[in-house]
Amino acid sequence: MDLLNTLVEKGLRRETPTREEALAVLATSDDELLDVVAAAGKVRRAWFGRRVKLNYLVNLKSGLCPEDCSYCSQRLGSKSGILKYTWLKPEQAAAAAGAGVAGGAKRVCLVASGRGPTDRDVERVSQTIAAIKEEHQDVEICACLGLLSDGQAERLKDAGANAYNHNLNTSEATYGDITTTHTYADRVSTVQQAQAAGMSACSGLIAGMGESDEDLVDVVFSLRELDPDSVPVNFLIPIEGTPLAGDWNLTPQRCLRILAMVRFVCPDVEVRLAGGREIHLRTLQPLALNLANSIFLGDYLTTEGQAGKDDLAMIADAGFEVEGTDTTTLPAHRADAAAAAGAGCGGHGGEGGGCGPCGEAAPVDAAPADAVPGDAVPAQAAAGATVSASAGTRESHADLVAVRRRGAGTDLPPNA
């Protein structure tokens, strides 16, 4: 197919495809799907080899959020039966993070609900970062605390945060249909603040919220312009008690096309297979590893994920390998640009990282990572929800989404 050959060539040159080409990927037929995956897989392997980076979420504060994001179980007025608790102590968060590190996670993502942190909250998170780094010196820390105020990004960077996550989620044109308590511009500003402070930017999207193909292309092109080092691709988890509980609009094939389009538009960035993969990709999850080079291990913020041991087995069975802490995540030109900016991209070790501009280097062969250790299963990441969703309907499927019951106030640590 001429389209796919063109997209592969552009991806290897880090050349942005046209909007028409990106839309054409989403419009391909099921008969063409394996060809699309194979083509995008060439681009993925050129920049990242067969390595898969593992990330682990620690929910520092659950629920009690004043924002009204329609997709979120922690939103204002949510009727979802999730755990609600205030800030974990640094030692509690460090213990939870240790479960992911034991399973091979290279990055720990510290997340807290709310519009944005107070200065006291930033201090709390700084203490938590110190507690985690004391036990796991080489682990990357990504903070996700909402909208940042002046000076907070710099304080988090000084405390040892390698990266900051703040997703754009959907296109600017439709953002007001999803959230009314803050704006799309607020989100862009927070990502830019993180970049300016020298942290690696992590920003992605949520697919399946009723958006059009044009909306998906819009948000991915906006991400390309923003130039984060990591782009998480989430697939909506329709949680009971949220306005989008009945939005089952995705099929496994649709999810693969979306991932392929993201890879073609953002060829040399870390594309992370994030929330909802188990529910929507189901048995096609291994195919998605040909498109994404990063996944979350175990549970998400308020829902259960696939068992950690099953994630590791899936990676090995599909012929991929877990990326070690001694391996650079990003291609050399991105890592070098970040180092020159005096930051730490969170993907190449060292003190710095950021989202520097792309260089002009050609793709390099990815360094081999250590093979998946057979016994590296987080003792506390073995939550498994068996799902088999029926896509394309507006019905609720409460039985398909397992709300996480473990955490504060139980006999197991958060995100167990």
Which residues are catalytic, by number? 65, 69, 72, 109, 142, 202, 272
Q: Which residues are CB-contacts of 125 (< 8 A; sequence separation ≥ 6)?
A: 60, 110, 112, 117, 143, 145, 156, 159, 161
Q: How far apart are CA 188 and CA 172, in angstroms?
A: 10
Query: 321: closest CA among 34, 54, 12, 43?
Result: 54
* Spatial CA neighbour of 338 closest among 400, 399, 110, 347: 347
First to last CA, the chain: 45
Of the candidates 267, 261, 202, 275, which has an alpha carbon nearest to the alpha carbon of residue 233?
A: 275
State both tokens at 318: 């599909």
Q: Residue 68: which of 56, 60, 76, 80 has the closest Cα?
A: 76
d(CA 250, CA 281): 9
Q: Which stretch of DSSP H or E encloses residue 144? A: strand 140-144
CA 244 from chain centre, in angstroms, equals: 20
Rg (CA), the chain: 19
What span, in angstroms and rounded, lies between the C-alpha atoms of 48 and 277?
21
Contact between 200 and 226 under an 8 Å Cβ cutoff? The reply is no
Which 3 state secondary structure label does DSSP give 129? helix
CA angle 223, 227, 228 (to 5 degrees): 85
- Which of 348, 326, 327 shows the shortest CA–CA distance to 337? 348
Kindly write down the DSSP assignment for every residue of 211-232, as one continuous string: --HHHHHHHHHHHHHH--SEEE
